[in-house]
A and B are shown apart, each in its own frame.
Chain A
């Protein structure tokens, strides 16, 4: 077995771009997925049945089809359908955001339902509006309960983001593919990338535990 990591070194500056792209991509997808996920969870617990059903169908569709298929559908079919030449990055954020919203909305829905109904009643009895009850009383407690699953979801997003390499986004994984093509070295390129993903996931995990600790001050 001959391993030569020095071959990879000249390409490292390019790797930085890939990492930045992966992080940017994950952050945008998380923000988009989270925001849409909160709205979606409210749609799903809506007392207006058709709306709730629509929300449920949305979730079942995005959970019931492969993410890669969704990504390709959005990337390749958008120009055909609406004539907009969607960039690979936009397609990626859209696909990942829409997809993770489906998962996140399920967690949030569960989180909302897990909040003791006495909380809502106490706020109602104080004359607080429905909107403020949701925003100030229910959601903060729901988020606290589901924080671990939210962190898991963003870790999944980070890892799944490597899929965008397939549609040509110059992310971390894409870098390895290019290095392999130029140096004919697979192991060196891919193990470097694997480690980088691992480090990024560890950082996210640390941020997650920090947030959980902070959320527990009221315990």
Chain B
């Protein structure tokens, strides 16, 4: 469903991604891990073109993203994204945060959008926060709303960019539980994370990045018990 071929990304002279190729199947959960500065987030952000690759090819459902004439906005509607810093719209209530894009982009009615928003909020356990502003929520609650907001667009793909890195430790679990509940429900998930235990538990595939290259792709059991690359071995020795 997502096919990344020989993607490179340079910021000025700094090569952040080098020749990355990766295939992600429909419904699969893939965790991208690696040392900081290895290009994990950049790679993730290339998938919905928040970063434009310097070279290479990205194909989603057969559509070539970097080809002229591709409607980026259309592509993005199908790819939800959850950010490290939540990025909820602070001037909108939780409900408005969730109904805004479906109403503006998919042009569904307010009633329908609200009905759907409330159902999603129930799913992430925040139905009582419908009319609050984001400033009144804890970090964990904000991130759960952000996940629900992404789901409100009914995307086929969900990208997570270090969704728990900005959270206080006691709030990590509630967010991970929500993410876990979404895994293997048909939605394709790409997850950049530092939570090794979680990656191991939830992911179908681990993609280990090192210095902008894919150093290893393997199923989690295999990767965590016997990594093939020396770099992955070193990395795991440090974090586990």
Residues on A lying within 8 angstroms of B by beta carbon are 116, 118-119, 121-129, 132, 136-137, 140-141, 144, 217-219
Contacts and interface: CB of A to CB of B under 8 A. Distances in A.
B85 A127 contact: no
Q: Is the interface of A mostly helix, strand, loop or mixed?
A: helix
A136 B77 contact: no
Given A118-B87, A218-B91, A127 B50 contact: no
Nearest to A218: B133
Given A124-B76, A128-B101, A217 B133 contact: yes
Nearest to A119: B87
A141 to B, nearest CB: 6
A137 B134 CA distance: 14
Q: What interface size band does chain B fall in? A: 20 to 34
B72 to A, nearest CB: 9
Contacts of A219: 133, 135
B223 interface: no
Contacts of A122: 81, 83, 87-89
B240 interface: no
Interface string B18-48: 0000000000000000000000000000001
A194 B87 CA distance: 48
Contacts of A121: 50, 81, 83, 87
Contacts of A141: 90-91
Contact of B105 (A119, A126, A140): A126
Nearest to B81: A125
B137 to A, nearest CB: 12
Most buried by B among A128, A132, A141, A218: A218
